[in-house]
Amino acid sequence: MTLEFQNGINVIDSLLHANSTTKDMLTTYQCDGLCQLRRILLVTISSSSSSSSEEKSEYDEEDGIISHIPKKLLIESRQQGQHNSDDPSSNNKDTNQYLLSEFGGMKKEPSSRWKLVKKAVSTNSIIQELRRECTSKNDNDEAILPHYSAAAPVEWYQLDYETQLKLYHNHLSWENLMRWEDFDIFEVSKLCQGKPLLFVGWAILASPHSQIIMEETVSSSSKKEYNEDDDDDNSSESYNRKGYNFLETYKIPPKCMIDFLRAIEDRYLPDTINPYHNNIHAADVLQTTHSFLEMGSQYQLFDGGASPPTSALTLQMFSLLVGAAIHDVGHPGYNNAFQSKTFSQIALTYNDKSILENYHTSLAFQMVLGENAINSEWNIFKNMIPGEFVECKRFITEAILDTDMTFHFARYNEIKTLSIPSRNNINTGNDNDDDVNSSKDSTNKEMAYSWKVLKFILHMADISNLAKRQSISNQWTDCVLEEFFRQGDQEREMGLLPISPLCDRNTTSRADSQMGFISFVIRPSFEALQRHLPYTTDVILPLIKNNYEFWESQKNTEEEKSNNKNKTKKNDAIKKDEEKAKKKKNGKFILTPMAA
């Protein structure tokens, strides 16, 4: 069955190929249907892949876990899996399965009976999905994509025309959102009245529709050119119209996406409480992650350079961008070390392991999936195919947990040595089993590679301040150090000594802190990314160099001021001693030598 599905995908790809004459003959609705059918086939293949793996083992062997399991236990469990349940040798099968699951972290494959149920459920899901795809075009459009005027935040229309013009032409147009070195998120925050995550998130995650709305609002010429029939563009055309097309792909009502972004932003503490970990930082990380992705697409880094991206890569990119938006939601302004030292509730909840990263992820999903929220107005995942949502949640969780700085050097070494997969194995569409299997293996390697790079990209976006233009970078330095100093003040007040590194406002050297961070974290990490993102060499590394030189000059200034201060103190002390000696000499307490 998997082979037939793969052949079907190959046929669809050939029909929708950019250079295909057949594509020009298809209506946009037919193209939409083929794209959706391709996505269903991919999910079905993914779901069935676990059953085909039972010939090798009845357990998942991901992440190298199997290397830590006693070989004897593995051999016994495999042998038992080959016997009938009535066989005496299978008496301790449940025990072995329990040991493998609870102590080895290995997931047991479902029983044969359960597999039949699973297949039935999977088949039913496919049928329901096909029914949903085959409903009338008008009904589908009304349910999923209402007219664009209803697909923009009300906050956008509350802005005056001049502000809309500045936001779009200087910041939120697709070309501006791609900028790395000089995208000014602080200016964006001011223009959108303190709602940068809502506006930046909408401009990126709801593209191309958000881009069309903004252009339509600020340009009379675009109003004449834009036609409502353009709503029906197929995924390839929409992608080329400056956007990700996530709303159609995952059937997200535009208002739902807007409500989600607004709800997430409301749960970030304001910059008056959190100078750094606030909604401005979240919007900045989202834009920076998007800029990274655009760099990758320019160099055809991911997915073998497919345009538009395949379903698997689209899901990874969607997960990464959503992860960027929620990665610090609810941040209390005090780091993991503080949480551990104070035995905070979240530290106790997550047992001192990636405390805040676990908290942010959990909080975001509780908002969407928690009790009484399953059908909430901000559940952007509700129309996903179940298998897609499971993968999406896993991607988001992994990406956010990888922003924990304690993993940095491990992830850096992984990226530094990560091999770029060969792209010579191109799927020719032949029915030969070997060709299909080779193509599938190549695709799996490509997606595994892209996800490792994408996770590292989010981590680097999170700490990219010193890789931006100096004026913007310096503002972020002020923000992060002020938040650190507030934690240090709190630690001093609570008697939590010694004060955490870089958190003592009386002793921390601003220049040393930034130079050290550049030398040991920022510069090596972006140098490691050069093989994967060539854009890094010409654009990002020079900015890092400039910032290092700036802080180096600042250090010299600090040292000069410190030396002058010490010299002044020394001179004052000498002067004071001289004045004291002079007073003693002229005073009545001066002792004279006794006469001989």
Q: Which residues belong to the active site?
A: 277
Q: Hey, how many other C-beta atoms are within 10 angstroms of the C-beta on 586?
A: 8
Residues 1 and 122: their CA atoms lie apart, in Å, by 14
Residues 168 and 203: their CA atoms lie apart, in Å, by 9
Structure tokens at 199: 């506006």
At which residue do the structure tokens 């055809």 appear? 300
Give 546: exposed, middle or buried? Use CB within 10 Å, 0-12, 13-18, 19+: middle
Residues 295 and 284: their CA atoms lie apart, in Å, by 16
Residues 274 and 359: their CA atoms lie apart, in Å, by 17
The answer to whether 171 and 275 are in contact (CB under 8 A) is: no
Those residues whose C-beta lies under 8 Å from the C-beta of residue 485, and which sit 6 or more positions away, are: 503, 504, 505, 508
295-320 per-residue burial string, b: 16 or more CB within 10 A, e: under 16: bbbeeebbbbeeebbbbbbbbbbbbb
For residue 228, how many C-alpha atoms fall within 13 Å in the half-sphere facing its CB?
7
Those residues whose C-beta lies under 8 Å from the C-beta of residue 441, and which sit 6 or more positions away, are: 425
For residue 164, the one-letter residue type is: Q
Q: Return the bridge partners of 59, or none.
A: 108
Q: Hey, how many other C-beta atoms are within 10 angstroms of the C-beta on 427?
A: 18
End-to-end CA distance of the chain: 123
CA dihedral of residues 222, 226, 231, 233 (deg, nearest 10): -90
Among 227, 254, 256, 228, smallest CA distance to 243 is for: 254
Give 68: exposed, middle or buried? Use CB within 10 Å, 0-12, 13-18, 19+: exposed
**Rounded (5°) CA angle 153-158-164:** 85
Structure tokens at 522: 């920022």
* Strand intervals (E) in 451-560: none
Tell me the three state secondary structure of residue 59: strand
Widest pairwise Cα distance in the chain: 127
The answer to whether 508 and 502 are in contact (CB under 8 A) is: yes
Structure tokens at 559: 């040292």
Structure tokens at 547: 């910032």
The answer to whether 402 and 458 are in contact (CB under 8 A) is: yes
Q: What are phi and psi of 378, to 5 degrees?
A: -110, 20
The answer to whether 535 and 298 are in contact (CB under 8 A) is: yes
